[in-house]
Amino acid sequence: SRNTTRNADGAVEVGGVDVRRIAEEVGTPAFVLDEDDFRHRARSFRDAFAEAFRPHRGAEVYYAGKAFLCGAVVRWVQEDGLGLDVCTGGELAVALRAGFPAERIALHGNNKSEAEIRRALEAGVGRIVIDSLDEIDLVDAVAAELGLRASAMLRVTTGVEAHTHEFIATAHEDQKFGLSLTGGAAFEAVRRVLDAPHLDLLGLHSHIGSQIFDTGGFEVAARRVLGLVAQVRDELGHTINQLDLGGGFGVMYNTQHTPSTPESLADGIAGIIEKQCHELDLEVPHLSFEPGRVIAGPSTQTLYSVGTVKDVRLGGPHHRVYVSVDGGMSDNVRTALYDADYSCLLTGRSSDALPEVVRVVGKHCESGDIVVKDEYLPGDVARGDLISVPVTGAYCYSLASNYNHVPRPPVVAVRDGEIRTLIRRETEEDLLGLDVG
Ligand code: LLP
């Protein structure tokens, strides 16, 4: 994160706090979130998109809570003027408990339960992103029962093959999300929402995937969605004037640098949309975006303590050094699941020892429990050392598990030399308490 430095002792400081102090006060493993970094990034994206679309109907940024959500994050997002994207009743509950204004919340999900829809409508969420034809009837019926109108966006599948890991690409045809453009479901859905007595059609939504670096996918997706806007204008005489292009902006895991600035990204996308709208003789709609990873990811590092260090002979001159840490795939499953390329550094001290290539692994009972595949660490790394894996703010805590009955680590915010616990460490009692049989 941006506020990381090394002090005179050779230890890393983040947000003005020495990592050794964090380890002492809250233990390891721990997620250490640089509050200023998170908030700076949130505001930068909000401002960049607002600015890029200012000549038109403006643009808003909804923070995608699935990347990482807790009460403090909800309050920051509100104070910093972003909306919030939630995709389950649980995420909605976190947002509402922290006092987030419901009209700034978008509810997603390919299989929302009736209870989730009811809770969202009762709370007054600003938009429900409808994902299937039968959900149109479901949301309409719940709205009718509650005697209100629901603002709906329709999630459209654009058929874009995003260049990312197949598990996190979402707009190609053969997957579960959205209403197909080419199959005609999307147009049919627009017709049905316009006819539904308790629904207002707010606009169209598209999300092509996650961890995407080039704007080519957004260009194709926008062209196809705007094509539908034009078709609806021509065939149904209705103007759709809001578009949500989802999230998905990528981050680098092995360097702490974001490949493009929020401004260049927003300007690039605005240019694409202006051109396409011009070609279709459409006014540029009001835009919204839902970045999660790019805001949360770089703000956080996971602090681990080193345990066993093992030099494994592989035959001939070959060997590999395995450095085990006190967490692993239960706090960061992304290496095992998506082949993510994290890095790692010695943070509790500096060292003049020659660097050697090591593999950083966890404490779980399987060999795929790898945190960092190949990394240079000083050759004298040993039990008790503190090491950090940067850029773990997105989809690490939110994907965390209790595999092998390992309690989940805490998330602490650091800022101006102070440590504040946002989510406390899970305890063995927390886990044993669930076991009531
Ligand atoms: N909007 C929608 C509708 C989404 O489905 C997602 C992510 C986002 C926004 C935010 O995408 P982001 O800006 O964070 O890339 N667990 C995977 C990522 C799954 C993303 C799911 N949807 C990972 O760890 O890479």
Catalytic residue (choose from 70, 87, 365, 396): 365
Mean pLDDT along residues 201-220: 93
Q: What whole-number distance in Å separates Cα of residue 246 and Cα of residue 407? A: 33
CA dihedral 347, 350, 351, 356 (to 10 degrees): 30
Mean pLDDT along residues 84-113: 98
Can you give the pLDDT at residue 161?
A: 72
Q: What whole-number distance in Å separates Cα of residue 130 and Cα of residue 119? A: 15
Mean pLDDT along residues 211-240: 95
> Which residues have a Cβ under 8 Å from the Cβ of 147 and sit 6 or more positions away?
none
Regarding the beta carbon of 292 and ligand 1, being less than 6 Å apart is answered: yes
Of 245, 275, 297, the residue at which a domain comes to its end is 297
Can you give the pLDDT at residue 23?
A: 98
CA of 106 to the centre of ligand 1 (A): 14
pLDDT at 170 over 70: no
Mean pLDDT along residues 201-226: 93
Residues facing residue 318 across a β-bridge: 315
CA of 169 to the centre of ligand 1 (A): 9
259 is in an annotated binding site: no
Regarding the beta carbon of 86 and ligand 1, being less than 6 Å apart is answered: no
Q: What whole-number distance in Å separates Cα of residue 83 and Cα of residue 57? A: 17
pLDDT band at 150 (very low <50, low <70, confident <90, very high): very high
Looking at the structure, do residues 160 and 290 belong to the same domain, yes or no?
A: yes
Nearest CA to ligand 1 atom 24: 395
Mean pLDDT along residues 328-336: 98
Regarding the beta carbon of 247 and ligand 1, being less than 6 Å apart is answered: yes
Looking at the structure, do residues 321 and 264 belong to the same domain, yes or no?
A: no
Q: Is the peptide bond before 390 cis (omega within 30 degrees of 0)?
A: no
Can you give the pLDDT at residue 63?
A: 98
Looking at the structure, do residues 233 and 326 belong to the same domain, yes or no?
A: no
The Cα-based distances of 157 to 92, 136, 185, 398 in angstroms read 24, 16, 9, 25
CA of 333 to the centre of ligand 1 (A): 15
% of residues, the chain, pLDDT over 90? 90
Regarding the beta carbon of 178 and ligand 1, being less than 6 Å apart is answered: no
Q: What whole-number distance in Å separates Cα of residue 259 and Cα of residue 298? A: 12
The Cα-based distances of 170 to 174, 345, 385 in angstroms read 9, 33, 40
pLDDT at 17 over 70: yes
Nearest CA to ligand 1 atom 23: 395
Helix axes of 216-236 and 262-280: crossing angle, nearest 10 degrees: 30
The helix (run of H) or strand (run of E) holding residue 115 is helix 114-123
Q: What whole-number distance in Å separates Cα of residue 28 and Cα of residue 344? A: 15
The Cα-based distances of 62 to 106, 247, 295 in angstroms read 8, 9, 11
Q: What whole-number distance in Å separates Cα of residue 40 and Cα of residue 230? A: 37
Can you give the pLDDT at residue 369?
A: 98
Mean pLDDT along residues 144-156: 98
Q: What whole-number distance in Å separates Cα of residue 143 and Cα of residue 128? A: 11
pLDDT band at 173 (very low <50, low <70, confident <90, very high): confident
pLDDT band at 171 (very low <50, low <70, confident <90, very high): low
Helix axes of 35-52 and 262-280: crossing angle, nearest 10 degrees: 30
Nearest CA to ligand 1 atom 15: 248
Looking at the structure, do residues 206 and 262 belong to the same domain, yes or no?
A: yes
pLDDT band at 163 (very low <50, low <70, confident <90, very high): low
291 is in an annotated binding site: yes
Q: What whole-number distance in Å separates Cα of residue 343 and Cα of residue 255? A: 8
So what's the ipTM on this one? 0.99
Q: Can you give the pTM of this predicted structure?
A: 0.97
CA of 210 to the centre of ligand 1 (A): 5
Can you give the pLDDT at residue 1?
A: 76
pLDDT at 167 over 70: no
Q: Which residues constitute the domain of residue 8?
A: 4-34+299-434
Of 265, 297, 329, the residue at which a domain comes to its end is 297
Looking at the structure, do residues 340 and 424 belong to the same domain, yes or no?
A: yes
Tokens of 68: 């990482």
Query: For the chain, what is the mean pLDDT?
Result: 95
Looking at the structure, do residues 86 and 62 belong to the same domain, yes or no?
A: yes
Looking at the structure, do residues 426 and 381 belong to the same domain, yes or no?
A: yes
3-state helix, strand, coil in the chain (%, to 5): 35, 25, 40
Can you give the pLDDT at residue 257?
A: 62
Mean pLDDT along residues 259-267: 91
425 is in an annotated binding site: no
Mean pLDDT along residues 117-145: 98
Give the position, in ligand 1's atom list, of the atom nearest the Cα of 399.
16
Number of other residues whose CB lies within 10 A of the CB of residue 435? 7
202 versus 258: which is more confidently predicted?
202
Ligand 1 test: best mutation among 41, 156, 293, 337, most atoms within 8 Å of CB?
A: 293
Mean pLDDT along residues 341-353: 97
For CA atoms 190, 192, 195, 199, give the dihedral sign: negative
Can you give the pLDDT at residue 159?
A: 84
CATH code (residue 221) = 3.20.20.10
Looking at the structure, do residues 89 and 227 belong to the same domain, yes or no?
A: yes
Exposed, middle or buried, 367 (CB in 10 Å: 0-12/13-18/19+)? exposed
CATH code (residue 346) = 2.40.37.10
The Cα-based distances of 237 to 38, 87, 200, 231, 298 in angstroms read 43, 32, 16, 9, 45
127 is in an annotated binding site: no
Looking at the structure, do residues 87 and 193 belong to the same domain, yes or no?
A: yes
Closest CA to 374 of 343, 352, 353: 343
* DSSP character at residue 425: P
322 is in an annotated binding site: no
292 is in an annotated binding site: yes
Can you give the pLDDT at residue 417?
A: 98
Regarding the beta carbon of 104 and ligand 1, being less than 6 Å apart is answered: no
Residue-wise pLDDT for 389-434, tens only, equals: 999 999 999 999 999 999 999 999 999 999 999 999 999 999 999 9
Closest CA to 303 of 3, 10, 14, 6: 14
pLDDT at 121 over 80: yes
Nearest CA to ligand 1 atom 16: 395
Looking at the structure, do residues 243 and 308 belong to the same domain, yes or no?
A: no
% of residues, the chain, pLDDT over 70? 97
CA of 411 to the centre of ligand 1 (A): 20
CA of 359 to the centre of ligand 1 (A): 28
Looking at the structure, do residues 102 and 244 belong to the same domain, yes or no?
A: yes
Of 297, 320, 347, the residue at which a domain comes to its end is 297
- The answer to whether 89 touches 108, Cβ cutoff 8 Å, is no
Regarding the beta carbon of 83 and ligand 1, being less than 6 Å apart is answered: no
pLDDT at 169 over 80: no
Ligand 1 test: best mutation among 66, 164, 269, most atoms within 8 Å of CB?
A: 66
Exposed, middle or buried, 391 (CB in 10 Å: 0-12/13-18/19+)? buried
Q: What length is written for the chain? A: 437
CA of 171 to the centre of ligand 1 (A): 12
Regarding the beta carbon of 46 and ligand 1, being less than 6 Å apart is answered: no
Give the position, in ligand 1's atom list, of the atom nearest the Cα of 291.
13
Regarding the beta carbon of 395 and ligand 1, being less than 6 Å apart is answered: yes
CA of 247 to the centre of ligand 1 (A): 7
Can you give the pLDDT at residue 132?
A: 97
Domain count, the chain: 2
Can you give the pLDDT at residue 256?
A: 58
Among this protein's residues, is 365 annotated catalytic?
A: yes
Mean pLDDT along residues 358-380: 98
Residues facing residue 209 across a β-bridge: 169
Q: What whole-number distance in Å separates Cα of residue 158 and Cα of residue 297? A: 27
253 is in an annotated binding site: no
Looking at the structure, do residues 329 and 286 belong to the same domain, yes or no?
A: no
